[in-house]
Amino acid sequence: MSFIKESENYLKDVINKCGYEIDDVTLESSSRRDLGEFQINVAMPLAKKYGKNPLEIAKEIVSSIDNRFTNINIAGPGFINLTINDDFLIENINLAIDNFDVLIDKEEEKTIIIDYGGANAAKELHVGHMRPANIGESLKRLAKLLGNKVIGDVHLGDLGRQSGMVISEIKRRKPDLCYFDPNYKGKYPKLEITPYELSVYYPAASNACKEDEERLEEVRNITALVEEGKEPYISMWKDIVEVSANEIKRVYDYLNCNFDLWEGELSSLNYIEPTLEILKPYMYESNGAMVIDVKKDDDKVEIPPLIVIKNNGASIYATRDLATIYSRVKNYNPDEIWYIADIRQSMYFKQVFRASYKSGLVRKDVKLAHYYNGTMNGKDGKPYKTRDGGVLSLNSLLKQIEEELNKKMDKFDNDEEKRNILDKLIVSAVKFADLLPYRSTDYIFDIEKFCSFDGKTGPYILYTMVRIKSILKKQNIEKYEIKSIYSETEKNIYIKLIELSKILKNSYNEKTLSYICEYLFDICSLFNKFYAETNILNEKDDDKRNTYLSMLKLIYNTCEKLLDILAIEIPDRM
Ligand code: ARG
């Protein structure tokens, strides 16, 4: 349990013993450090409840608090200011050097499935795919750290128009393949297709369809055959998806986004039948399609019925999400399913969730939630585009970041080492920039800013970590122990460290990594201030020097854990 939580429990106990019933006490960080590091605001609500004078209650409480707090004073109508006793703080902070768990509070264990990434097979990953992947990955790591059982699923978009596009293009370019021979009688072989061919075929077909109605019709027909599971198309498409998924995985791996499951729309087809069986009593026909009403009386906006089966009898995106929910419930019995996808899908998810609850596809106590992400925009405030107005591929974005960071890597002559450090820097730059803004807010793409070694950036954090690491390496300490607090900055660092539990809680509750990024920046800035003020290694007093190094160790261990949540790795040097 965290120090903060423990102190809150202690204060609750004190208040109860004074004869006042109270559910929770929150230790708020104070902005007026001169008055106290923390503040509790309980006297006013208790005064109301018990019909007493708040000052009186505050005085009673204050006189019962033991010496773990000092400088206890009452401000205004009854705010209680508290400062942590140094010895008590040191005692607690020492526990945290090797045990991160004393800085955090675990959640009640739940099984959570996170649906994130959302790449589409046969299409290149573009910049829009980065944020849901980064946020989902970090929320997964955070939820795990807090004690949940978490399963990440990429939910590939591996059905749809792109299947018809790619196969029609293969037909054009390699008409002699046996798949296109109506008289072919043998067993169909595995389709050979390279990642390069794939990257060319989809855009070629997509362009051709823009001007050619007949071609588009062909694409539609092939797509329908794939979706109906007709051979050889379905097998061809599965072979294409396999090659494409490998390419997609490479980019996600590079960003340290690792999925437990590589399921998708295609794999959900196995569950369509039992899903429709459950939905059947709630579906009705509308213009030839089968739909479910999902509106409610108190809706402020019109929520249209969800189409479950198209008028040609085929399944669609929604059918596959419903079938995926069915399979997740059946296979994992989750308490919660989180969807990380951008805001444009909000209405869609609302419809799908309502249809799921209404039909009993999921129990009412299973939480289905869409935690939407804001987008990365250009300077014009619109989703980022290339100079010619196209969508930027994720690979090209990473290349641009690489070019910028490469300018700062002159001092390295060992190519292998340089590559390794550069990769870690690139990942830190894009991920930190992507996770720093509040989850649902947009942000502006600015390579120079993201790659700077100063300010709220990944490279700044890594630079600080490497600095600490190299100091620690120069010293051999048997037992890390903080003996005393020698300066204001040190005290501020310790207070910051014990506040971590609150940061993680807020991040988890609001499903945003922004608080963790800001916190990392604050800790690094405090450390750099300390570093400028202090001659750490040349300190002659052993106790002092050991204390400094122990504090560095604690900062390093804590930040390493937090960077691991962000899926950012620390290089050995920079
Ligand atoms: N592939 C989808 C897209 O590109 C995102 C998938 C989101 N997840 C889901 N279960 N529908 O828009």
Mutation pick for ligand 1 pocket among 153, 155, 156, 265 (CB with most ligand atoms within 8 Å): 155
pLDDT range class, residue 362, cuts 50, 70, 90: very high
Whether residue 435 is predicted with pLDDT greater than 90 in this model: the reply is: yes
As separate numbers, helices (DSSP H) first and strands (DSSP E) second, the chain gives: 21, 13
In order, the DSSP letters of 503-564 are HHHHHHHHT-SHHHHHHHHHHHHHHHHHHHH---TT---HHHHHHHHHHHHHHHHHHHHHHH
448: in domain: no
Q: What is the mean pLDDT of residues 228-234?
A: 93
pLDDT digit string (tens) for 140-193?
A: 999 999 999 999 999 999 999 999 999 999 999 999 999 999 999 999 999 999
Kindly state if the Cβ of 120 falls inside 6 Å of ligand 1. Answer: yes
Ligand 1 atom closest to the CA of 157, numbered from 1: 1
Report the separation in Å between the CA atom of 278 and the middle of ligand 1, taken as the mean of its atom positions: 23
Query: How many angstroms does the Cα of residue 429 sit away from the middle of ligand 1?
Result: 26
- Percent of the chain at pLDDT > 70 equals 100
Measuring from atom 5 of ligand 1, which residue has the nearest CA? Answer: 118
8 A C-beta contact, residue 549 and residue 475: yes
- Residue-wise pLDDT tens digits, 394-420: 999 999 999 999 999 888 888 889 999
Ligand 1 pocket: which of 267, 339, 351 to mutate (most atoms within 8 A of CB): 339
- Predicted confidence band of residue 382 (pLDDT cuts 50, 70, 90): confident
Nearest ligand 1 atom to the CA of 119 is 1
The predicted pLDDT at position 477 comes to: 87
pLDDT band at 98 (very low <50, low <70, confident <90, very high): confident
Question: What's 75's domain CATH number?
Answer: 3.30.1360.70
Residue nearest to atom 11 of ligand 1 (CA): 321
- Of 31, 56, 84, the one marking the end of a domain is 84
Rg (CA), the chain: 29
Query: What is the overall mean pLDDT for the chain?
Result: 95
**What phi and psi, each to the nearest 5 degrees, are found at residue 567?**
60, 45
pLDDT in tens, 31-68: 888 889 999 999 999 999 999 999 999 999 999 999 99
Tell me how many degrees the CA angle 55-59-64 measures, rounded to the nearest 5.
Answer: 150
* Residue 324 confidence (pLDDT): 98
| Chosen domain end from 35, 53, 84 | 84
> What digits encode the pLDDT tens for the residues 238-249?
999 999 999 999
User: pLDDT (tens digit, 9 = 90+) per residue, 312-355?
Assistant: 888 999 999 999 999 999 999 999 999 999 999 999 999 999 99
pLDDT computed for residue 380 by the predictor: 86
Domain-located, residue 13: yes
Say if 219 falls within a structural domain: yes
Regarding the beta carbon of 160 and ligand 1, being less than 6 Å apart is answered no
The total number of structural domains in the chain stands at: 2
Query: Is the full-model pTM beyond 0.75?
Result: yes
* Mean pLDDT to the nearest integer, 546-572: 97
Q: Is residue 464 part of a domain?
A: no
Q: Is the pLDDT of residue 220 over 90?
A: yes
Question: Has residue 385 got a pLDDT over 90?
Answer: no
Answer yes or no: is the C-beta of 115 below 6 A from any ligand 1 atom.
yes
Beta carbon of 155 within 6 Å of any ligand 1 atom: yes
- The phi, psi pair for 481, rounded to 5°, reads -155, 130
Residue 510 inside a domain? The answer is no
Q: What pLDDT does residue 120 have?
A: 95
Q: Ligand 1 centre and the CA of 338: distance in Å?
A: 12
- Residue 374 is predicted with a pLDDT of 95
At 495 the pLDDT is 95
Helix, strand or coil for residue 409? Answer: coil
Domain boundary among 84, 108, 133: 84
- The residue range of the domain holding 76 is 3-84
pLDDT on residue 466 = 97
User: 388 vs 375, which has greater pLDDT?
Assistant: 375
Residue 362: name the closest of 372, 352, 376 by CA. Answer: 352
Q: Is 113 in the pocket of ligand 1 (CB under 6 A)?
A: no
Question: Both tokens of residue 167?
Answer: 């196969």
Q: Domain for residue 20, yes or no?
A: yes
Percent pLDDT > 90 in the chain is 91
**Pick from 24-28, 32-36, 383-387, 464-468: least confident:** 383-387
Quick: pLDDT tens for 478-510.
899 999 999 999 999 999 999 999 999 999 999
Nearest of 472, 490, 485, 477 to residue 91 by alpha carbon: 485
Ligand 1 pocket, residue 341 CB under 6 Å: yes
The CA distances from residue 30 to 88, 121, 318, 391, 526, in Å, are: 19, 50, 48, 46, 17
Q: What is the Å distance from ligand 1's center to 158 Cα?
A: 10
Ligand 1 pocket member 351 (CB < 6 A) = no
Residue 478: what pLDDT? 87
**pLDDT at site 426:** 98
User: Atom 3, ligand 1: which residue's CA is nearest?
Assistant: 118
Q: Could you tell me which residues come within 8 angstroms of residue 74 by beta carbon, excluding any fewer than 6 positions away?
A: 43, 55, 58, 59, 62, 80, 81
Distance CA 507, CA 55 (A): 34
391 pLDDT more than 90: no
- Determine, yes or no, domain membership for 433: no
Minimum mean pLDDT among 83-92, 378-387, 471-480, 550-559: which range? 378-387
For residue 44, being part of any structural domain is answered with: yes
HEC string of 311-351 equals CCCCECHHHHHHHHHHHHHHHHCCCEEEECCEHHHHHHHHH
pLDDT at position 476 is 84
Q: Which CA distances in Å does 408 have to 260, 424, 431? A: 36, 14, 19
Backbone φ, ψ for residue 68 (5° rounding) = -70, -25
